[in-house]
Amino acid sequence: MGRFLLQRLTYMLVALLLIITFTFILMHVVPGGPFASEKQLPESVMKNLNEKFHLNDPLWLQYVKYLQQLLKGDLGVSFKYEGRTVNDFIKNGFPVSATLGAVSVMIALIFGISLGIISALNQNKWQDYIATIFATIGFSVPSFIMASLLMYFFAYKIKLFPTAMWGTPAHVVLPAIALATLPTAFISRIVRSNMIEVLQQDYIKTARAKGMSERVVIYKHALKNAILPVVTYLGPLIAGVFTGSFVVEKIFAIPGIGRDFVISIVNRDYGLILGLTVFYAAFLMLMNLLVDLSYALIDPRIKLTRKEG
Amino acid sequence: MANILEVKDLRVNFKTFAGDVQAVRGVTFSVKKGEVVAIVGESGCGKSVTAHTIMKLIPTPPGKIVSGQILFNGEDLVPKTQEQMAKIRGKEIGMVFQDPMTSLNPTLTIGTQIGEVLRVHQGLKGEAARDRMIELLKMVGINQPEKRLKQYPHEFSGGMRQRVLIAIALACNPQLLIADEPTTALDVTIQAQILELLKELQNKLHMSVIIITHDLGVVAGFSERVVVMYAGKVVEEGTTEEIFYNAKHPYTWGLLKSVPRLDQDRSTPLIPITGRPPDLINPPKGCAFWPRCEHAMKICAMYEPPETEVTPGHRVSCWLNAEEVKKLKTKAVD
């Protein structure tokens, strides 16, 4: 277990270094720079700006300097927003995105698993067909359309929830639903197909032959086996949803990190791009690690050991 | 002695796209208290479906009990709901299945899987449940029961898993144990051990056992009576002695001939029953076995054979044994 963790953490560092390197190269390969879009700046100002952010240094030196700075836990500064560090952006934006994300993941899990079970237990009956229709809609309607529709009906027409902005629990509802639509559909499908398969297993027959009630058979014996693939999907889902969906955050005017991320790219804000990428990548890898660890809790056959060879 | 189980004219169909498969077509047999009855027959003859139907474990739909009665201690199980059956399963009737490798839940410990039976049917919890589980594991011959209770199925071999499944089936001292090919998926040496264990436990606990198998070797040393099934029907039934030494049905003869024997020259090939079992969507008119039967007569293809009693308790359904045919034959010889 200890060795497994150590090995995984080493892999994560290597992967992170590769991601930083590629992002760094790609960022500089793309024409333009952080100050290119502004109205023509005087030569001397440009020179000073480049000087200040070390943009005149050779690329390899900038790269090394960035890594050194990272080691100290400093993700860098924004080139566009005077005096704001990437750490500031994360400190302000991440809790917002994380709250929204957590609610979305909860919604997706609760509704996805319930729909999946209902479908599986009523295979090819009307309940299954209705769940399938919901899932198809969830799959095919993009989150921005879902967001607009929700906003139109629940905020504008019946005024149940605020249209946009952030602050109270009511503000979380609509964007969280919009963000949860796709994962809900996805999870319901995974649970359905796995549940159908698991319910045909011999050990389910054994459970019934033991005189277990249908409730125990489904929730104790079948669900635990059917849920493993959902856990696999949960890693990237949590990372993606926690760090925010730009579109949904933009539509609901939510000051989350997803919005910052996309704006940084539009602005060629070298510091912010790199910083947020590193943060996002590290978060994703951490979530995947947690998922792998939770496997062992759900399925005792999975042993966390170092791979041989 | 009293009958613990009486199956009367049981018919079970399965709906498929091709039509209704008549898996069980009027099966009648009984099991006495403390008796071991073997149901034998080749794959697809309906022996497993019969066993599952007694427990009402066949999926409905597509399965359906068309008619018949299953009297357990005189009470008909057919009209019972799944909830009512859940109170009988595991408590009054235990069941052991064919493949121990897949019959235990991989995500739950052995202790959990035995413990839940004790909790649901006997209300045993905590220490009491633990003591009983240890006793059960010892009873089925599992060493270090305290340690084994905390382990998961993947830490057990096939034979050990079957022992665990037997412990689960017997946890509440059922009156009847149904063993559905309990040794088929195991190595030969393990087969003998499991069979030995079942025999020993049957002796000790005085329960009735229905053992389903296609292996007459299993039958010989264990069961008191044998029910031979073919194409969803009982074709012959009698004491084990009668079936082995005085079988009357050509299908039973075929089964007996296809068993390897130690006293035979090893170069003697086994004699298989040629052909295939009939399609049970459209079962043949007359005797279902006639297309494969060496002794088939014209009448076999036209009318279903009547059941005749050879000696008390030895029933056979074959035209060769019908009084009318016997008379005709003796006439022809004269």
pLDDT at A111 over 60: yes
Give the residue among B166, B13, B8, B167 at the shortest CA–CA distance from B72.
B8
Taking only the tens place, the pLDDT of each residue in B77-86 is: 888 888 898 9
Q: How many CB atoms are located within 10 Å of the residue A2 CB?
A: 8
| Beta pairing partners, B67 | B11
Q: Domains of chain A, with CATH numbers?
A: 2-71 (no CATH), 93-255 (1.10.3720.10)
Predicted confidence band at B168 (pLDDT cuts at 50, 70, 90)?
very high
Whole-angstrom distance, CA of residue A55 vs CA of residue A63: 11
Q: Is B61 helix (H, G, I), strand (E, B) or coil?
A: coil
Residues of B in contact with A216 (CB under 8 A): 116, 120
Any chain A CB within 8 A of the CB of B56? no
Q: How many CB atoms lie within 10 A of CB A80?
A: 19
Band of residue A236 on the pLDDT scale cut at 50, 70, 90: confident
Contact B108 A224 (CB under 8 A): yes
Q: How far is A190 from chain B (nearest CA, A)?
A: 19
Check B107 against A298: CB less than 8 A apart. Answer: yes
Residue A2 clears pLDDT 80, i.e. is over it:
no
CA B54-B58-B61 angle, 5° bins: 135
CATH 3.40.605.10 fits B3-104+156-333, yes or no: no
Mean pLDDT of chain B: 87
What are the two backbone dihedrals, phi and then psi, of residue B199, each rounded to the nearest 5 degrees?
-60, -50
Q: What distance in Å separates residue B168's CA from the closest CA in chain A? A: 8
Rounded to whole angstroms, the Cα distance separating A86 from A34 reads: 15
Please give the share of chain B, as a percent, with pLDDT higher than 90: 27
Flag whether residue B102 sits within 8 Å of chain A, measured between CB atoms: yes
For residue A201, give how far its alpha carbon lies from the nearest alpha carbon of chain B (Å). Answer: 7
Q: Counting Cβ atoms within 10 Å, is residue A49 exposed (0-12), middle (13-18) or buried (19+)?
A: middle
Closest CA to B250 of B271, B223, B268: B271
pLDDT at A119 over 70: yes
- What does the pLDDT read at residue A309? 37
DSSP annotation string for A274-300: HHHHHHHHHHHHHHHHHHHHHHHHH-T
Contacts of B120 (CB under 8 A, 6+ apart): A210, A211, A212, A213, A216, B90
Task: Return the pLDDT at A307.
Answer: 47
| C-beta atoms of B168 and A206 within 8 A | yes
3-class secondary structure, B19: strand
d(CA A187, CA A236): 13
pLDDT tens-digit series, residues B154-166: 999 988 999 999 9
C-alpha span between A124 and A132 (Å, rounded): 10
A197 close contact with B: CB closer than 8 A: no
pLDDT band at A188 (very low <50, low <70, confident <90, very high): very high
Residue A36 has pLDDT above 70, yes or no: no
Reported pTM = 0.79
Q: Hunting for tokens 């700006």 — which residue is that?
A: A49
> Would you say B229 and B253 are in contact if contact means Cβ atoms under 8 Å apart?
no
Residue B236's Cα: distance from chain center in Å? 14
Both tokens of A41, joined, read: 């700046």
Cα–Cα separations (whole angstroms), residue B83 to A82, A212, B270: 70, 9, 47
Query: d(Cα A44, Cα B180) in Å, to the nearest integer?
Result: 90
- What are the pLDDT digits (tens) for B6-65? 999 999 989 988 888 888 888 999 999 989 999 998 888 888 899 999 999 888 878 888
Q: A211, B91: Cβ pair inside 8 Å?
A: yes
pLDDT at A172 exceeding the cut of 50: yes
State residue B237's pLDDT score.
92
Q: What residue ranges do the domains of chain B occupy?
A: 3-104+156-333
Q: Is A214 on the interface with B (CB under 8 A)?
A: yes
Question: In which band, very low, low, confident or very high, does the pLDDT at A185 lie, cut at 50, 70 and 90?
Answer: very high
On whether any CB of chain A is under 8 Å from the CB of B17, the answer is no
CB contact under 8 A, A300 and B102: no
Please say if the pLDDT value at position A308 is more than 70: no
> What residues does A85 pair with on adjacent strands?
A77
* Minimum-distance CB partner of A212 among B94, B106, B116: B116
CB-defined contacts A:B, below 8 A:
79
In chain B, which residues have their Cβ closer than 8 Å to the Cβ of A214? 82, 86
Question: B262 Cβ partners below 8 Å, 6+ apart?
Answer: none
The answer, for B91 touching chain A at a CB cutoff of 8 Å, is yes
Among the partner-chain residues A203, A213, A298, the one whose CB lies closest to the CB of B103 is A203
For residue B137, pLDDT beyond 60: yes
**Contacts A212 to B, Cβ<8 Å:** 86, 90, 116, 120
Calculate mean pLDDT across residues B91-117. 91
Q: Is B106 on the interface with A (CB under 8 A)?
A: yes
* DSSP assignment letter at B227: E
Tell me if A201 and B121 make a contact (CB, 8 A cut-off): no
Among candidates B187, B254, B259, B197, which has minimal Cα distance to B222? B197
Closest CA to A178 of A208, A130, A137: A137
Return the residue of B nearest to A200 by Cα.
B59
Instruction: Tell me the pLDDT tens digit for each residue of B251-290.
Output: 888 888 887 777 777 777 778 888 788 888 888 888 888 8
At residue B332, the pLDDT reads 64
Residue A272 tokens read as 């912010």
Residue A243 pLDDT: 66
As given in the structure block, the two tokens for residue A246 are 């730009």
Cβ contact B165–A211 (<8 Å):
no
